[in-house]
Amino acid sequence: MEYREIILLKQGEIARITINRPPVNVMTLNTITELNQALKGLREDPEVKVVIIRGNGERAFSAGVEVRDHLGEKLPLMLEEFGQLFKSLRNAGKPVVAVVNGIALGGGCELVAGCDMAIASEKAQFGQPEIKLGVNPPPASVLFPRIIGMKKALELILTGDSIDAWEAQRIGLVNKVVPHEELDQAAEEFAGRLLEKSGHILKLTREAICEVSEISDYEKALDLMTYRSRKIMESEDAVEGLTSFIEKRKPVWRNR
Residue 252 lies in a domain: no
Number of domains in the chain: 2
Query: Quick one: 172 and 109 in the same domain?
Result: yes
Catalytic residue numbers, as ranges = 110, 130
Does the residue 253 lie in any domain? no
Asked if residue 229 is part of any domain, the answer here is yes
The DSSP annotation for 77-115 comes to HHHHHHHHHHHHHHT-SS-EEEEE-SEEETHHHHHHHHS
Q: Hey, how many other C-beta atoms are within 10 angstroms of the C-beta on 1?
A: 7
Q: What is the pLDDT of residues 206-227, one digit of tens each?
A: 999 999 999 999 999 999 999 9
Q: Are residues 14 and 96 in the same domain?
A: yes
Between helices 218-233 and 199-213, what is the axis angle to 10°? 170
Where does the pLDDT of residue 2 fall: very low under 50, low under 70, confident under 90, or very high at 90 and above? confident
Which pLDDT belongs to residue 1? 74
Answer yes or no: is 170 within a domain. yes
205 and 84 belong to one structural domain: no
Q: Same domain, yes or no, for 172 and 207?
A: no
Measure the CA–CA gap between 61 and 113, rounded to whole angstroms. Answer: 13
- What pLDDT score does 6 carry? 98
Integer angstrom CA distances of residue 14 from 7, 47, 51, 135, 227: 14, 8, 6, 36, 30
Res 153: pLDDT = 98
- Does residue 138 carry a pLDDT above 90? yes
Write down which residue in 156, 173, 195 finishes a domain. 195
Domain CATH for 56: 3.90.226.10
Residue numbers of the domain that contains 241: 199-246
Indicate if 141 and 206 belong to the same structural domain: no
Q: Are residues 148 and 207 in the same domain?
A: no
Confirm whether 108 is domain-assigned: yes
Position 255 pLDDT exceeds 90: no
121 and 64 assigned to the same domain: yes
The pLDDT tens digits for 25-57 are 999 999 999 999 999 999 989 999 999 999 999
pLDDT, one tens digit per residue, over 70-120 is: 899 989 999 999 999 999 999 999 999 999 999 999 999 999 999 999 999
Give the residue-averaged pLDDT of 151-174.
98
Residue 90 shares a structural domain with residue 191: yes
* Within a domain: 1: no
Cβ(107)–Cβ(27) below 8 Å: yes
Residue 239 within any structural domain of the chain: yes
Is residue 182 located within the same domain as residue 217? no
Who contacts 48 (Cβ-Cβ below 8 Å, separation ≥6)? 10, 13, 14, 15, 42, 94
Average pLDDT of the chain? 95
Q: What is the pTM for the complete model shown? A: 0.94
The answer to whether residue 256 is domain-embedded is: no
The residues near 109 (Cβ < 8 Å, ≥ 6 apart) are 64, 126, 127, 128, 140
Mean pLDDT along residues 111-135: 97
Statement to judge: residues 226 and 190 lie in one domain = no
